Chain A
Amino acid sequence: MNSAVKDTSILQGSVAIAETVLAASPGVIAVYPITPQTHIVEHLSKLIAQRNLNNKYLTVDSEFSAASVVLGAAATGVRSYTASASQGLLLMTEVIFNMAGTRLPGVFTAVNRSLSPPINIQVDHQDTMTLRDSGIIQLYVENIQEAIDTHIQIFKIAEHQQVLLPAMVCMDGWILSHAYEPVTLWKEEAVQEFLPEFDPVYRLDPQKPLTYGALTDDDKIMEFKFMVHEALVGSKEIVKSVALEFKEKFGNYHGDLVEENMIEDADIILVAMGSIAGTIKAALPELRKSGKKVGLLKIRAYRPFPDQEIRQALSKARVAIVLDRSLSCSVGGPLAGDIKYCLHNQDGTRVVNYIISLGGREVYPETIYKIVDETEKKLADDAIDDKPVFWDLNKDLL
C-alpha cells in the first residue's frame, strides 16, 4: 500500500476537502458561510476545535472581509485559505484582483453555484468564470478525489516563487461538495513533506515596514499588469511539474493543464470542465461502440489558459464541441470564446458551442449522445456557425 495513504473510505466531498486543507495546515483560515460551500468551513471549525489545533480560524462579517483577511495573512508570509461560492465570490472579486496585482498567494475553494437572479443554489460555472480576468489561477476538478489531490497541489503552485498568485480550486456544487464517493485521504506528514514552507519575496513586518498598494502612473501600470500576465503564463509549467511531482509521491494523476481521453483518432472532441467531464467519460464507450470517433479534452486549468495544449489536442479533429456551463451574455460561452481564439489561425477544426446545464439542469450520458448526433448532422449539412446553442432551451416558456 502507498505509504502516503491515511485512509480510504466513503466521504462527503466537503468533509474530504476540510480534512485535506487541514493537512496542508494553513496558518489562517477566514470564513463566511454560503451554500453550497458552508459544509467545508463548518467541518474545518469542528476539526480545529476537536483536535485542538493552532490554525487561526476567523469568522468574519462578509466574503469581502474573508478575502481581505486572506490577503493580509498572505502579506505577512502565512499560508492562508478561504472558501466561497456564487454571490460570495463576486463580493470577493475586488480583493482577488488586489491579491493578484500584489502577488499574494491565498488559496480559495470555489464551490461552483449559479448567480442570482433568479436565486438558485445549484451548480454552474458562472461565478468562477466571472473572475477569469483577475489573474487568479483556476483549476476545475472532475470528481472528489481530484478535488482532494488538487487542493494539495494548488498550495504548492500558488506559493511557488515564480508564481505568487492567488489560486482557486473550482469544484461543482452539490455534485462534488455534497455527494459521497469512495476517496483516499493523505497523511498529514506526506502532505507537509510535499509542500515546502511558504517563503515569500516580501512580507509585512512592523520592524521592516513596506508599502503595499502604492500609486503608480501611466508610465509603469502596463508593466505591472504585464508582470502578472507573465507570472500566470509562467505558472503553466509549474502546474505541469506539480502534477507530476504529485503523481510520483501519491500515485494519482488527473492530467495537468488538460487531460486527454481517446483523442488520438477522434473526429469529434468534446471539451468540458468540472464534473461534466465525468459524465462524458461514461458516455464515450457507448459512442465508440456505435462507431463514432469521439474523444474528450478535459480542461483542468482554465487560468493559466493552456492555449498550445488545446491547439495541439484539437488540431486533428474535424470539430470541437465546447460545453460551457456559463454564459458571456451576447457572445456565448467564455471557454468556447477562448478556444476559438486558440484555433482562429488554424485550418480544419471547427468549433461548436453549447451552453449547457445553467443552474444545475441535469446532464446525462444521453444528453451527450444527442449533442454528438446533432453536431454530426450539422457537419454533414455544412451547417456549423458561430452562434451558441442553448441546449434544451424550453421555448414554450418564452
Chain B
Amino acid sequence: MLKLNIGGITEAGLSKKNKTGNWSYFIPVVDVSRCNGCGICEQFCPESCVEIKEKLCIVNEYYCKGCQICCFECPQEAITMKEKGGAVT
C-alpha cells in the first residue's frame, strides 16, 4: 500500500512517468519527402516534443499534446495533423 512521504518529497523525474501524450486529440504526421530538416518545428514546439535527427523531424508521441504549432509553422508544409484513431485532417 502506498504511504505518503512527509512534505510530499518523492524520487526525482516522476513527471516523465506521466505520459501526457494521452491528452492529445491530434498527432503530427511528417511527410519525409517534403521535410528538409530545417528545424523550425523543433524551435517552435512548446513541449520539446519535436526533434531533428539526421535531418528529419521526429515527433515524441509520449508527450506531444497535439497543439498543431509545428504543423502551422512548417515552411515545407511537411506536417499534417492526424486525428488519433481517425481520418487525416
Q: A and B bound?
A: yes
A residues whose Cβ falls under 8 Å from a Cβ of B: 101-104, 164, 201-202, 209-214, 216, 220, 223-224, 227, 231
Closest residue on chain A to residue B5 by CB atoms: A202
Judge if B12 is at the interface, Cβ distance under 8 Å.
Answer: yes
Contact in complex: A101, B5 (CB < 8 Å): no
- Binary A-proximity of B3-38 (CB < 8 A = 1, otherwise 0): 011111111111100000000000000000000000
Closest residue on chain B to residue A226 by CB atoms: B4
Q: How far is the CA of A212 from the CA of B11 in the complex (A)?
A: 9
Closest residue on chain B to residue A231 by CB atoms: B6
Contact in complex: A216, B13 (CB < 8 Å): no
Contact in complex: A213, B8 (CB < 8 Å): yes
Q: How far is the CA of A327 from the CA of B79 in the complex (A)?
A: 62
B residues whose Cβ falls under 8 Å from a Cβ of A: 4-15
Contact in complex: A102, B7 (CB < 8 Å): yes
Contact in complex: B7, A104 (CB < 8 Å): yes
Q: For B13, list chain A residues within 8 Å (CB).
A: 209, 211
Q: For A209, list chain B residues within 8 Å (CB).
A: 12-13
Q: How far is the CA of A104 from the CA of B7 in the complex (A)?
A: 8
A-B contact pairs, 27 of them (CB 8 A): A101-B7, A101-B8, A102-B8, A164-B6, A164-B7, A202-B5, A202-B6, A209-B12, A210-B9, A210-B11, A210-B12, A211-B9, A211-B10, A211-B11, A211-B13, A211-B14, A211-B15, A212-B7, A212-B8, A213-B8, A214-B9, A214-B10, A216-B8, A224-B4, A224-B8, A227-B4, A231-B6
Contact in complex: B8, A201 (CB < 8 Å): no
Nearest CB of A to B8, in Å: 6
Most chain A CB within 10 A, of B4, B9, B13, B14, is at B9
Q: For A231, list chain B residues within 8 Å (CB).
A: 6
Contact in complex: B12, A202 (CB < 8 Å): no
Q: For B6, list chain A residues within 8 Å (CB).
A: 103, 164, 201-202, 227, 231
